[in-house]
Structure 1
Amino acid sequence: MKIVTKAFLRYRLRRRSLSILQLLGIACGVAAVIGMGLSAQSALSSFGKAVEFLRGRSTHLMERPAGPMEEMVLAGLMKDPSVDYFAPVIDRRVRLADSDAIRVLGIDPFLDRTIRPEISRTYLAERAQRNKEDPFSFFTDDRSVLIDSNLASRLRVKPGDQFETSQGALKVVGTFPNPSGEPLILMDMLNAQRIFDLRGSIDRVDLIVNDEAAFRSRWEKGYRIESKRQRQETLTALLHAFKLNLQALSLLALFVGTFLIYNTAMFVVVSRRRDAGVLRSLGAGRYEIVAAFLTEIFCLGILGGALGAVFGYILSRFLTEIVGSTISTLYFFLRPSPQPWSLLTLVAGIALGCIASLLGSVAPLIELILTEPVKALRGRTAYRGGKRKAGKIALTGLGILCIAACFLLLSFYHVYVGYAGTFIFLLGVSLFTGLTVMLVAPALKWLFAKVGGVQGKLAVANIRKNMGRTAVAIAAFMVALSMSIGLGSMIDSFRHSLIWWMNSQLKGELYISTRGDVDVPEDFYKELKKVPGIGGIDTYRNVQITYRGMPTYITAINASILQQFAEFGWVRGGKENWEPVKRGSVIISESFSRRFNVKKGDTITINGTEGAIRFPVAAIFYDYTTEHGLIMMDRSIYIQHFKDRTINSLGIFVDPKYPDREKVIAEVKRLAHNRNLPVATRSELHGTILSVFDNTFAVTRSMRVLAIIVAFFGIAGALMTLFVERQREFGIYRALGFSVRQIAGMTLFEGIGMGLVSFLMSIGVGTALAMILIKVINLRSFNWTIFYHFTLDPYLLAGITAIAASIGASLYPIWKVYRTYPQIQIREE
């Protein structure tokens, strides 16, 4: 046994370049999962640190259901026996000169010292070190702030310096370490109230409560009370669908990698079949040979998995930045730090490599066990069965597709069921590869004969004759290309749906203060209403609430203005849906409807400042602003129930009958600039939204590229398998007068032929995958409808990728052809 194993492992040392190729293939499949897993772990870890740092020791927070609360509430909290400690907070954002929105916390350092002792210690330490002549500048100067040390380094400021923001210049009086990673500015609460025009108001109160039930019974009416655990769950829920899709993308790459590992195991069997036959003839047992093969394959799995863990760790550092940027754009600011290298990462990579290697080697080892010694000595086994065998395999694939269809139909139970159905679908269509090769071979043979003569004909014949080897590589490449087409088509369809939504719903000529860090003063809104030529102004207020324990949003708008100027995309009905909204009903987004199973005509209950309010649902509309759902109501109704007159932004609609449209726009811009309010035209706002959309799919594009790289190694491995199996055949070709260039050309045609078959299959499979992603996965994950829109770009990209990758994968086998002499190829040992 030991002698047999040593003989097998020595072969690896003699074929170092081939071993490296196979190790890289396994490593890429493992790296996809490790890299994505580490980046998601980094995001969640940083998120936990941020919540812990900002909430400190508080057990609960209390805030109004929407908008700021009256400062007078603090007097009542002082007398409440259920409250041990409390700290009022102003939680706002300012925008820097580089357009980044930075969080500002206005705190009372004395009340805050028990809730957030780290911040209080920082403040006291900085106060002791600041200039002695003005130790109280943090309180007396309403422009004095503490900023975290990372932000100070980025802005290149130190104590005593000033920096510009959307709220004017702020003076740095000290810095503090911030483990959360989120850029943070601290200032005295009274100063924050002055700067943000919140005199007499605060955003929330952080509390340490000793009796939750008693506290809720006294304060729950009119306020939203949330425990630390509930807050963590709420914020985690915001990331659930995003995290789930990251995991699915990495598993798709591993799915392609499993094909590759099968190819690698098959290559091991093929390249060592003659050695196995010799050892069997010399007395080695069948299972000794199998054990030796398993040892070799496990060694590949261990080394490939370890290499994949290293690659995955490097990949995670790139993906972590993309994931953090995407979360910051879509949900809340997050700047995750890459996970440190650990032994667990290495163990996970090795485990993945070994498990995938074991699964991929089952079929090749069964073939080895069933091969008699005499046949093994011949060095190759021809593919037998032709169309009949390919048809039987395709029938098996058809059965698997039926199972996949059942899973997809049952995906309404959970999106995991939809993902399982997607993987089963890809497995089922892979079994149609052999039949597809048989069907397209005549047309491909005619085409290659026209282009490459006899080498082209022989290449197609070799692909078909060796389908036991080529079909797996074609299937792997087909799945990778299908992923590229499916994801590309889904993204393009989503983009087209988003453009339709923007053109329907965001039809204002100008939008004022859309950045989220500057609210619009109500007197400015009244001032704009007097400008001649303005047909209507839509006021926009968006607040996050909790509905049935889940995060969602309320949006307050001017219903009569939107009825007149906007063209909402309604699931049912038209502009008549606005009439009940004016009288107190609400409309809900499609994602809210699906998420909470609320239909038109139902009633929803929301907590207002005076307690629970019941709102009838007048209609459902298409919306892509948030997958967590949106409740839209008229501004007058919102103010009535939530006592919040805040305006986040304004949409300006010019009267179509007014003769000088440009004059109106210029006047609005002038008035806004006088108030230091940012203004965006309709096209600028649409461009910003599309830019955000494109950036959110950076991770998806990375996984598409990785899947193509994995499949690239699959094609190269298949060609090397054919090369090893057919060395004697190559020798005969050259002995009959074939030049090295002709044989190399035949190898190139084989690679291109496999790529073309993969591409032809991926056209249909990729389109079907796009429909699954749009109609099942996205619908179950994000609860919104994406309208399929055909674009040629994903198919062209897949076609170019197929040809380029096939040619690239052929280079190493061609190089081996050039290095091998005819007398060595033809010799039988």
Structure 2
Amino acid sequence: MNRLLGRIGRSDLRRHPVQTGLAVVGVAIAVAVVVAVDLANHSAREAMRVSLASVTGAATHQVVSGPDGLDERVYTRLRTELGFHAAAPVIEGGARLAEADTRRSLTLLGLDAFAEGPFQRPLGGTAGLGEAFNELLLGERAIALGSGEAERLGVTAGDALAVQVAGRRVSLEIVSVVDDPQDQARGLILADIATAQTLLDRHGRIDRIDLVADEAAVARLKAELGSGARIVPAAASAQSVLEMSRAFQINLTALSLLAVVVGAFLVFNTLSFLAVRRRATIGVLRAMGVQRGEILRQVLGDALLIGSVGTVIGLALGFGLAHALVGLVLQTVNDVYFSRAAGDLELSTLSLVAGIVVGVGGAVIAALAPAREAAATPPRAALSRSDLEQRAHSLARQATPAGIIVLVIGSALIAGSSGLVVAFAGLFAIILGAALLAPRFMLWLTALLRPLVRGRPLAGLVVEGAAASLSRTGVAVAALSVAVAAVIGVSIMIESFRTSVIDWLQGSLAADYYVTAPVAMDDGTADTVAGLSGVAFVSRSRFETVQTADGPIEIWALGLPNQREPELDLLAGEPAAAYAALAEDDAVLISEPFAARRDLEVGDTLALPVADDASPFEVAGIYRDYGSPTGVVLMRRPLYRALFDDEGLSGIGVHVDPSANAAASPDWQPVIERATADVPGARVTDNAAVFEQSLAIFDRTFAITEVLRWLAGLVAFVGVVSALMALHLDRQREFAVMRAIGFERRGLGFVVGGQSGLLGLAAGLWAIPLGLALAGLLVFVINRRAFGWTMGFELSALPLVEGVLLAVGASLLAALHPAWRAARQGIARGLKGE
């Protein structure tokens, strides 16, 4: 009997290839999105891990100092006087290819090969370098590359490599290509530490000393190293970077789960129609003695078949989509979090397992409710259409309080916790609650329209048919409204963030021109620019990162003329008091993400490492900043110079006197470029160019979010076409009755299209409040907890109109084939069985 039931089920699927195919496509898209995002996230994490490990190796701790690094004599003392040999000096610097893709950045890593034995870096030590060790040690510009990086660059041992280092173009000689089968040295250029010091103009200085030491040895070294040096865990910086990117990856995963939710509704909807369509057959089978368990297994078996086929297709699609997404994810990581992250797609067994669980497991779970309902229906009731609709209306009434309860639970989860994962759980609960309320909303809408269609027979059939066929239409409206709401919510979130970033840029880009360089500038250069005729004043900035046991802290030291205050958007702290404290006391301003990550408020104390001690600073204010997800600590430059003995400048902001004669100097950029010509690699950028570059980075950052939004829209489109096509094909007998009582093809087409459009309109209208709720949660809760940013809520009519048009347009498109088929179907054939 089970084999016969299986044949009946598969035969039914074959008789309706379009509906079955759309169900398979819905599963495949949901699986593809989940697998692609998970593979892209896994590849990004692996690229970051490998990049971090390639420069850290097996080090357990690091000896660090201020922004200018360490005197190399500290390393000499560590090895000779203190007798600690598991130590290696390291110097790092940025390099860019001088030709080809100038955006491709590399890391110049200076090491002492004699000391590298315990650290197991991919290019470290004498073993890997082999005979090229002496050449690397003695060559003036000799470097080594990993085999994978050499292949990407198209070079081999003996070739020259032209790069930009410290603002200068230099030609490096590749003396060795080290075997690197796992590509751990991606993006690395290895040089002897003395060569790196020369190339980076860091004579006598190193960035850090890596150690392999237990806690007892660390405690002894801390006591003996003396002032000017600190020991921090080697994993602190790596962990900080991985933690920062974790929120971004959680957001991507959650957005992909929106597609899964919509896909689950799609499968549930399709299998609900499958159960409805087979209701008469199931009634006959039950009357013949087929047991409920056998009916249940038949429907679940069909769901398993649909889910399995869709999963296989989805895994293949997901792998292809992941190739495109991994580039977008890594670009975002490079722009925002970690400049060295680069890698290829890395396969993950867990990602594939997640896709199988979503596809196969989701299909079976989605089919469980309609399968149980079909199996539990008595034979006589199964043959009665009215009984089905009565049950559907009863379920809609019961779903209303259930939906309200789920909405309350979701809201409570969000309000009662501060965690990101819990916030997403609350968001999905709100989506489920809104879906449960969708059938009731459709009934309310048809009741509202009923007085408007009195005396209009065709319009009345449209409205009454939508309400009377709730078993067919309720789930379709719920699935479509959830999908469209996801599109609306993500669209509003992106637009809100973009508008907030634009407002922030317009307020924070105070200077007319900005001077930057790959090397530190000095006050003499700033004085030269400030002395140009027509320049009102210049701002002087120094950006440096100090290492702490809790990870790196970025410091912005800002120097302004007297009576000038920073042009910041203070979110906390009274501006006059905050700026007065910043100017006169040991006080700092911190950016909003920094305050969120460190749980700091105005008046709290922040400890910053100075020399070998930690100095306390009062938090005088918190300002808005979208430039760094890690956060920034702002202090006056005179205080910074006194603390860290660092006279360098990272940037100069040029403020032109608005009253200056424009005719005397029509273009300031070449004038400033001539004034800074002695600075290697100096670059002058005007306010508008900085604005455009910042928005370009923003758009690249949100490119993957846009892709996921369109994928969610595609799932929505497939869902509504599948649901409504199934609905109309299931009504072919009803359409034949309408033809038999005198309906013309035009009138029949009006009824079919009208009912389909009404369902799309109902779903689109219900998606508006749900989409606004999702947008509000994404803007005010999710992004705040993930990144520490607050932003405005930019509400425009365009995303709402697009959502409604998507729902109505897809609904009308779904009606074309059933209307064409109903108009051409023979009346006698359609009434067969009546």
Q: TM-score, normalised by structure 2?
A: 0.90
Can you give the 5+ residue segments of structure 1 that lack an aligned partner in the other structure? 130-134
1:332-368 CA distance string (max 9 Å, x none):
13223212375x6554333222332233223313432
Q: What is the distance in 1 between the residues matched to 2:740 and 2:345?
A: 58
Match of 2:693 in 1: 688
Aligned to 1:669: 673
Q: 1:479 aligns with which of 482, 487, 496?
A: 482
Q: Which residue of 2 aligns with 1:132?
A: none
Q: Which residue of 1 aligns with 2:413?
A: 407
SS at match of 1:566: coil
1:326 Cα deviation from its structure 2 partner: 0.7
After superposition, the C-alpha distances for 1:400-420 in whole angstroms (9 at most, x for unaligned) are 2222221221132x1222112
The residue matched to 1:828 in structure 2 has which SS? coil
Aligned equivalent of 1:239: 245
Cα offsets for 1:717-769 (capped at 9, x unmatched) = 32233234322112112233445565455433333322222221222221222
**Bigger Cα displacement from structure 2, 286-295 vs 317-326:** 286-295
Kept in 2, the 8 Å contact 1:556–1:634? The answer is yes
1:795 to 800, 806, 817: 800
The one-letter amino acid of 1:668's match is I
CA displacement 1:24-61 (0-9 Å, x = unmatched): 11222222222211211111122222222222233322
Q: What does residue 37 of structure 2 align with?
A: 36
Quick one: distance in 1 between partners of 2:784 and 2:530? 41
Distance in structure 2 (CA, Å) of the matches to 1:811 and 1:180: 56
Q: Distance in 1 between matches of 2:386 and 2:832?
A: 15
Aligned residue runs from structure 1 range 58-457, under 5 A: 58-79=59-80, 83-97=84-98, 98-100=101-103, 101-112=105-116, 114-116=118-120, 118-120=122-124, 128=132, 136=135, 139-142=138-141, 144-149=142-147, 152-153=150-151, 155-158=153-156, 159-165=158-164, 166-174=167-175, 175-176=177-178, 179-180=183-184, 182-209=186-213, 211-219=217-225, 222-332=228-338, 333-340=340-347, 346-378=352-384, 382-384=388-390, 390=396, 393-412=399-418, 414-441=419-446, 457=460
TM-aligned CA deviation for residue 522 of structure 1: 4.7
From 799, 816, 830, the equivalent of 1:825 is 830
CA contact (8 A) 1:91 1:104 kept: yes
State the SS of the aligned residue for 1:375: helix
Tell me if the contact between 1:534 and 1:664 (Cα under 8 Å) persists in the aligned partners.
no
SS of the counterpart of 2:500?
Answer: helix
SS of the residue corresponding to residue 170 of structure 1 reads: strand
**AA of the residue aligned to 1:145:** I
Secondary structure of the residue aligned to 1:513 is: strand
Contact 2:24 2:310 in 1 (8 A): yes
Report if aligned partners of 1:501, 1:569 keep a CA contact under 8 Å in 2. no
CA-to-aligned-CA distance 1:473-495 (integer Å, 9 cap, x gap):
22222122222221211221111
Aligned AA (2:505): M
Following superposition, the deviation at residue 370 of structure 1 comes to 3.9
Deviates more, 1:628-637 or 1:554-563: 554-563
Residues 354, 417 of structure 1: CA spacing in aligned structure 2 closer, same or farther, 3 A cutoff? same
Aligned match of 1:489 in 480, 489, 492?
492
State the 1:551 CA deviation.
4.4
Check conservation: 1:508, 1:651, Cα contact below 8 A.
yes
Aligned amino acid, residue 671 of structure 1: A
Is 1:536 matched with 2:540? no
| CA-to-aligned-CA distance 1:755-814 (integer Å, 9 cap, x gap) | 222221222221222111111111111112111122333224323433443344445545
Mapped to 2, the partners of 1:346 and 1:738 lie a distance apart of 52
Query: In structure 2, do the counterparts of structure 1 residues 500 and 341 end up closer, same or farther at CA, with 3 Å as the change threshold?
Result: closer
Alpha-carbon contact 1:47-1:180 (below 8 Å) kept: no
SS at match of 1:119: coil
Asked if 1:509 corresponds to 2:509, the answer is no
Give the counterpart letter for 1:57 in structure 2: A
Instruction: Give the residue type in structure 1 aligned to 2:709.
Output: R
**2:22 equivalent to 1:25:** no
Distance across 1 between alignment mates of 2:631 and 2:136: 44
Corresponding position of 1:633: 635
Between stretches 473-482 and 662-671, larger displacement belongs to 662-671
Q: Report the CA distance shift for 1:341/1:140 in structure 2 as closer, same or farther (over 3 A).
A: closer
1:810 and 1:556, CA in 2 relative to 1: closer, same or farther beyond 3 A?
farther
Matched with 2:50 is: 49
Q: CA deviation at 1:561?
A: 6.8
Residue 297 to residue 570, structure 1, CA distance change in 2 (3 Å): closer
SS of aligned partner of 1:628? coil
Asked if the contact 2:300/2:368 (under 8 Å) is kept, the reply is: no
Q: Which amino acid letter does the alignment assign opposite residue 75 of structure 1?
A: T
What CA deviation, in whole Å up to 9, does each residue of 1:661-704 have, x standing for no partner? 64655421222355331111111101111111111112211221
1:558 and 1:455, CA in 2 relative to 1: closer, same or farther beyond 3 A? farther
SS at match of 2:260: helix
CA-based RMSD: 3.1
Partner of 1:760: 765
In structure 2, C-alpha distance between the alignment counterparts of 1:147 and 1:153, rounded to whole Å: 10
Distance 1:814 1:230 in 2: 65
SS in 2 for 1:627: coil
The letter of the residue matching 1:104 is L
Say which SS state the counterpart of residue 123 (structure 2) adopts. Answer: helix
Label 1:481 to 1:551 Cα distance change in 2 as closer, same or farther (>3 A).
Answer: farther
CA distance 1:233–1:449, change in 2 (3 Å): farther
1:738-753 pair list within 5 angstroms: 738-740=743-745, 742-753=747-758
Q: 1:592 aligns with which of 594, 614, 619?
A: 594
Task: Give the whole-Å Cα distance in 1 for the aligned partners of 2:83 and 2:39.
Answer: 42
Query: Contact between 1:513 and 1:648, CA under 8 Å: does it hold in 2?
Result: yes
How far apart are the structure 2 equivalents of 1:464 and 1:122?
Answer: 79
Cα–Cα, structure 1 residues 330 and 456, in superposed 2: closer, same or farther, change >3 Å? farther
Consecutive unaligned residues in structure 2, runs of 5 or more:
none
CA contact (8 A) 2:558 2:636 kept: yes
After TM superposition, the score normalised by the length of structure 1 is: 0.91
Partners of 2:200 and 2:393 lie apart in 1 by: 76
Secondary structure at 1:198 match in 2:
coil
1:232–1:819: structure 2 CA closer, same or farther, 3 Å change rule? farther
Aligned partner of 2:705 among 652, 676, 700? 700
